[in-house]
Amino acid sequence: MKEIKHFINGEYVGSASGKLFDNVNPVNGQVIAKIHEAGEAEVDAAVKAARAALKGPWGKMTVAERTEILHRVADGITARFDEFLEAECLDTGKPKSLASHIDIPRGAANFKVFADLVKNVPTEAFEMATPDGTGALNYGVRRPKGVIGVISPWNLPLLLMTWKVGPALACGNTVVVKPSEETPTTTALLGEVMNAAGVPAGVYNVVHGFGGNSAGAFLTAHPDVDAITFTGETGTGETIMRAAAKGVRQVSLELGGKNAGIVFADCDMDKAIEGTLRSAFANCGQVCLGTERVYVERPIFDEFVARLKAGAEALKIGEPNDPSANFGSLVSHKHREKVLSYYQKAKDEGATVVTGGGVPDMPAHLAGGAWVQPTIWTGLPDDSAVVTEEIFGPCCHIRPFDTEEEAIELANSLPYGLASAIWTENSSRAHRVAGQIEAGIVWVNSWFLRDLRTAFGGSKQSGIGREGGVHSLEFYTELKNICVKL
């Protein structure tokens, strides 16, 4: 059994307190490692190392030198692809067929995308008149924001962590990362790649632990952390905002969602079924952009429900190494308890269980895993907890609608606004409806199609700020105006 240690100032170190907690494989329930829990001392050491690196060699590098190193980081992940893949699947339980096509390639690509972007991002310049007639020149320069606290989630551990670390480092910042306690391994392993790529000590630091009275709380409260970026549930985001208010530090928050899919009768049914199957059940439903509410125009409602049921029942549940598996376990037994509590609420509230609703029968060697069935319901009222609260599991509720106006009202009825998907072959309707949906991203006849240059983030209770392309650079830099009297 291995130990997962903190990565501080270029070295792996244990906790002074000796506190350890279990890293559990959700596929079979077995403990696969012991994780060191950071106290205030480890977090403080990590922040001090990050501050020193900011003033040291990293801060003195040119953009070209810095981005060349980040390309080497991306290449280092790719060179150790199988090792990262194995670690990610052991932590999350997701099929290798999924992680090998999304998690690890995107985890590496995030360094190259932002390294290339930062070399070409423009600022601004203005000439102005002055009373004496000589004039003045104003020009903007971008400077690193400083030490960034990065708190990353467990559903796409490497991808979403590097989605923050990549642009932060490209802009010249240093980071202290607190990965989810459920999925620490690839974040820790990245320290080896950073060292091999020539990233100076202290630029990338990792501390492990939990939220309250642990690494997360110590990091967000640390006065020498200049900004905090977080992906996770809304309640935790509110806690981080309160901590960041002391010292008036900026936050970037990508929070919860209860995303709607709208399926019009003029859709391409094959596209709508395939897309909704992915958006409801990919990664076992543990995707912030996933669809848990599906609104279907009444003339095609019965056909859509029947075909989605058939698609859900055709999913192959299995362990990560099964090449035919496309549906894995949930991330933990604790999360399974939450998901199953909603499965029970649906039954208690009189839902029609179209398919699923429980725990699948698994072979003996997998019986201890955090497995649940892909589940579809109909018949619940609009104010049901199952319809209004984020479950973050492989499930969706399908409800009919009669008019375009009704569909828009239903989609916008909740305090969340992260993502939505619209299925229609009428281009005028697609533009008209998309413009009225209160969400940070709206897909038309697709789902999870992402250009990394575009803005990503939520509205309402789904977050603050935008990530992606130049929008990430705006968070990770301070734009300074220099005024020169001529």
In sequence order, what DSSP letters do the residues of 336-398 get, joined into one string? HHHHHHHHHHHHHTT-EEEE--S-----GGGTTS-----EEEE---TT-HHHHS---SSEEEE
Q: Which residues contact 76 (CB under 8 A, 6 or more apart)?
A: 193, 196, 197
Q: Is 288 a catalytic residue?
A: yes
Q: Which residues contact 280 (CB under 8 A, 6 or more apart)?
A: 290, 291, 292, 294, 308, 312, 374, 376, 394, 395, 396
Instruction: Kindly name the residue from 288, 292, 395, 474 that is annotated as catalytic.
Output: 288
Instruction: Kindly name the residue from 254, 297, 438, 474 that is annotated as catalytic.
Output: 254
Q: Is 284 a catalytic residue?
A: no
Q: Which contiguous run of DSSP H or E holds residue 168?
A: helix 157-170
Number of neighbouring beta carbons within 10 Å of residue 251: 20
List, in sequence order, every residue forming a beta bridge with 456; answer none if it has no partner: 467
Asked whether 441 and 456 are in contact (CB, 8 A), the reply is yes
Structural tokens at position 234 = 């809304």
Give the ranges where 257-359 is alpha helix by DSSP (H): 269-281, 301-313, 333-348
Closest listed residue to residue 247, CA positions, set 346, 149, 342, 339: 149
How far is the CA of 222 from the CAs of 38, 217, 232, in angstroms?
A: 14, 9, 20
CA distance between the termini of the chain? 67
Q: What is the spatial distance between Cα 261 and Cα 284, in angstroms, rounded to a whole number?
A: 18
Number of neighbouring beta carbons within 10 Å of residue 429: 16
Catalytic residue annotation? 254, 288
